Amino acid sequence: MLDDIQEDRAQGKYTGRMGTESRLLMALHRQCLCHHCAKFKPNPDGREENCEIANKLYDLCVEYDLVTPVARCPQFVQREG
């Protein structure tokens, strides 16, 4: 399994800059807990409505050009529907 993940690496552009990506984790990005959480309300014009943690994580991702799916969160609330 670890060998598969290491061989899965590739160079790619996400926000315009080249970076090393795990294709497996990039493909699973939509499984990020935030996308299924009632607290996740991304809106560039209304950040105060969004989860504070998600906002901080987003800022870090923008600053360093990261993609960081959330795999664990003690404040997760299952979104209805």
* Residue numbers at the binding site for ligand SF4 (CB under 6 A): 33-34, 37, 39-40, 51, 53-54, 70, 73, 75-76
CA angle (81, 72, 45) in 5-degree steps: 60
* Euclidean distance between CA atoms 14 and 25, whole angstroms: 13
Which residue lies nearer to ligand SF4 by CB, 22 or 55?
Answer: 55
Residue 51 class from Cβ within 10 Å (0-12 exposed, 13-18 middle, 19+ buried)? Answer: buried
Which residue lies nearer to ligand SF4 by CB, 9 or 35?
Answer: 35
Least distance from C-beta 44 to ligand SF4, angstroms? Answer: 16
Which residue lies nearer to ligand SF4 by CB, 15 or 75?
Answer: 75
